Each structure stands twice: as C-alpha cells, then as structure tokens.
C-alpha cells in the first residue's frame, strides 16, 4: 500500500508541474507544441538522472524510485498529448512541423538518456 502512496504523491507533483509548464507556454505562437516538448524533456532529464544515481551512487531505494520515476515522471511526461498534438499538425497538413515535433522530441529525449546513462551497447 505504501508503494501506491509514493506513486500517488509523485504523480500529483508531476501533474502539477505539467500544468504549470502548460501555463508558462500558453501564449507561445510557435506551431511546435513547445510546452509538451519541454515537459517531456524535463521528465526524461529527471528519469535519466534518477536511473544514473540509482545505478551508480544511491542504494536502491524502492520508494524513492517509485516517487521519482513512476510518480513524478509519469505525471509530468505526456506521450498522449505529444501524439495528439502531432496528429493535429498532420490533420492541418502541417507536415513539416509534425515531422519536426517527432524528430526533435525523440532525438532530444533519447540524447538525454545517452548523456546520463552512457553509450549504447
């Protein structure tokens, strides 16, 4: 039961962060959904740093890992929104921005893991 509480608390914090990021970028005039990109990048950064720390520095603390990785990152990252916004760009026949959104999001998020966790084997 305590595991559920850690995920719940982290998820709440992640969701609030996601909402605040959306408010911060709500006046953006870019066709690229920058709030979603920013939220996903922050989530990947937190996730990668957490995994790196758990693998190299910290003792395996299951509660902290649930709170950070499953909770905060789960509430903050937004794959469904990324997919919807990309779909909307495609529906508007804005193929360049849809492609840029996919490429930038995937490349930068994977790059974050590469930087913090290490080379691909």
Decide: 55 and 45 in contact? Cβ < 8 Å: no
State the pLDDT at residue 107: 97
Dump pLDDT digits (tens) for 65-78: 999 999 999 999 98
Q: DSSP labels for 61-101?
A: -HHHHIIIIIIIHHHH--HHHHHHHHHHHHHTT-HHHHHHH
State the pLDDT at residue 27: 87
Dump pLDDT digits (tens) for 51-102: 888 887 767 688 999 999 999 999 999 899 999 999 999 999 999 999 999 9
Decide: 17 and 85 in contact? Cβ < 8 Å: no
State the pLDDT at residue 20: 97
Exposure of 27 in the CB half-sphere (CA atoms within 13 A): 1
Sequence ranges of the domains in the chain: 2-117
Tokens representing 6? 């850690």
């Amino acid at each position: 039961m305590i595991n559920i509480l850690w995920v719940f608390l982290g998820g709440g914090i992640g969701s609030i962060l996601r909402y605040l990021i959306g408010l911060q970028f709500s006046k953006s005039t870019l066709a690229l959904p920058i709030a979603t990109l920013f939220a996903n990048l922050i989530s990947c950064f937190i996730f990668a740093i957490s995994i790196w720390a758990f693998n190299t520095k910290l003792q395996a603390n299951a509660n902290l890992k649930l709170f950070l990785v499953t909770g905060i990152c789960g509430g903050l990252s937004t794959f469904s929104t990324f997919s919807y916004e990309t779909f909307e760009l495609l529906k508007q026949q804005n193929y360049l921005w849809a492609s840029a959104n996919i490429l930038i999001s995937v490349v930068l998020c994977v790059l974050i893991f590469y930087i913090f966790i290490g080379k691909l084997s």
